Chain A
Amino acid sequence: AQKITQTQPGMFVQEKEAVTLDCTYDTSDPSYGLFWYKQPSSGEMIFLIYQGSYDQQNATEGRYSLNFQKARKSANLVISASQLGDSAMYFCAMREGQGYSTLTFGKGTMLLVSP
């Protein structure tokens, strides 16, 4: 079974609207972390937001928020007030266990923001 599933290959949103990118995960480890990265066409991976499995509140970073539903094993990224510069690939990733560890990535969602 895939550990990280992103079911939306592509999403469209109009500028200034909010958009939700879906991510579900699968792990039996009680300690884990969930990440979202943005990859523009230049190729670099840009860290957006982190949610720990024991965090009580949903993570927020500026226009990004993570809708963490532990029982459903979902960690959706919400981008508010979309901008043209948000057009990119978005990857959900998970770290299992504690300390330095490896990240398992989903296959990504391409977001296109239209004027």
Chain B
Amino acid sequence: DGGITQSPKYLFRKEGQNVTLSCEQNLNHDAMYWYRQDPGQGLRLIYYSQIVNDFQKGDIAEGYSVSREKKESFPLTVTSAQKNPTAFYLCASSMDRSTDTQYFGPGTRLTVL
């Protein structure tokens, strides 16, 4: 089945530890995105990538890092520098340049204890 997968669904980490969230798509989409959602809020963009080996910062990139070594994969690392990492993280991808309709994965809920 084609789609976007994120793993794990729930993730717990101790404060001060880096953690990497996985995002994989088999839709052959060029662009991929990472968003963060806090309770009662809309989504905010962390990073996005339009092509392999290239990515741009979004509105809230501080404390996060990404890589795009393969078209299918866009992992997000939440570093210890991120002051408030507990949130719901959503990955998306897009292939239509004319509309940039983004399709989302199921999300990863990260809790830092």
Contact = CB atoms under 8 A, between A and B. Distances in A.
Nearest to A42: B106
B68 to A, nearest CB: 13
Nearest to B33: A102
Interface in A30-86: 33, 35, 37, 42-47, 50, 52
Interface in B9-66: 30-31, 33, 40-45, 48, 50, 58-59
A108 B42 contact: yes
Contact of B42 (A46, A99, A101, A107): A107
B94 interface: yes
Contacts, number: 67
Nearest to B42: A105
**A interface residue count range (under 10 / 10 to 19 / 20 to 34 / 35 or more):** 20 to 34
Contacts of A45: 43, 90, 92, 104, 107
Contact of B100 (A37, A46, A100): A100
Nearest to A49: B101
A33 B43 CA distance: 17
Contacts of A47: 101-104
A29 to B, nearest CB: 13
Contacts of B30: 100
Given A43-B88, A43-B109, A100-B31, A91 B101 contact: no
Interface of A: 4, 33, 35, 37, 42-47, 50, 52, 91, 93, 95, 98-103, 105-108
Given A44-B107, A91-B43, A105-B42, 4 more contacts: A47-B104, A98-B98, A100-B31, A102-B59
14 contacts: A33-B99, A35-B101, A43-B90, A44-B105, A47-B101, A50-B99, A95-B100, A98-B97, A100-B94, A100-B100, A103-B45, A103-B102, A105-B42, A106-B42
